[in-house]
Chains A and B, each alone.
Chain A
Amino acid sequence: AQSVSQHNHHVILSEAASLELGCNYSYGGTVNLFWYVQYPGQHLQLLLKYFSGDPLVKGIKGFEAEFIKSKFSFNLRKPSVQWSDTAEYFCAVIKSGNTPLVFGKGTRLSVIA
């Protein structure tokens, strides 16, 4: 079965620090990869997604993620975080088509002034 691992349960950063959140998946075939964000009290929102093509994907709010097939990884990055980036971040994978997402357990990011 597919699984998604997010290595960090809780990350605390100061404003302007750089961010990298790890995500590894176990499925060996073709996958579609996603990062979702859940701000406090709000619902899940799509940050970015990778289906094919350029493995460096740019999303909203200055986030980007790099798909490294050989490492089964899809890490999320942001060069300089802001207080408003405080949220829960979920990595997710699907094989293709109308199959359900498999979510990682999430990483809570706290950005302090």
Chain B
Amino acid sequence: GAVVSQHPSRVICKSGTSVKIECRSLDFQATTMFWYRQFPKQSLMLMATSNEGSKATYEQGVEKDKFLINHASLTLSTLTVTSAHPEDSSFYICSAVWTGTNTQYFGPGTRLTVL
């Protein structure tokens, strides 16, 4: 149990295009999901908190118009990187909180490369 999937696992795109990343909790409901970035050999940096049915909460310094988050259901949150640029290249990881357990389970991550 407690599996979180992300799609795609790897994406390469041209500068200026938008990329959508999906995060799904496969066998549990998650009212809350989190989106993180991980730079090489560094820890995870929280980008935003995604709550089902409401607007996401962004961390300081994260542009909400650039990183659009939609938490459409109790099992799905999406992150759209709009007008991507090379500096957006990173490893994006989501986690889902199993409702009622206080425990976060992580997706496998999405490697975004912007050319």
A residues near B, CB below 8 A? 32, 34, 36, 42-46, 49, 51, 90, 94, 96-98, 100-101, 103-106
Tell me the total A-B contact number using a CB cutoff of 8 A.
45
Chain B residues in 8 Å Cβ range of A34: 103-104
B74 to chain A, nearest CB (A): 13
- Show 22 residue pairs from A and B whose CB-CB distance is below 8 angstroms, ordered by the A residue: A34-B104, A36-B106, A42-B108, A43-B109, A44-B95, A44-B106, A46-B103, A46-B105, A49-B103, A51-B102, A90-B43, A94-B102, A97-B102, A98-B31, A98-B32, A98-B102, A100-B34, A100-B46, A101-B104, A103-B43, A103-B44, A106-B42
With CB as the reference atom, state the residue of chain A lying closest to B46: A100
Which of the four size classes fits the interface of chain B?
20 to 34
B50 to chain A, nearest CB (A): 10
CA distance A44 to B104 in the complex (A): 10
**10 tightest CB-CB pairs across the interface, nearest first?**
A43-B108, A98-B32, A44-B106, A105-B43, A103-B43, A100-B46, A106-B43, A100-B34, A103-B44, A98-B97
A5 to chain B, nearest CB (A): 12
Chain A residues in 8 Å Cβ range of B95: 44, 101
With CB as the reference atom, state the residue of chain A lying closest to B109: A43
15 additional A-B residue pairs with CB within 8 Å, beyond A43-B106, A94-B102, A97-B102: A32-B102, A43-B109, A44-B106, A46-B103, A49-B103, A90-B43, A98-B31, A98-B49, A98-B51, A98-B97, A100-B34, A101-B44, A101-B95, A104-B43, A105-B43
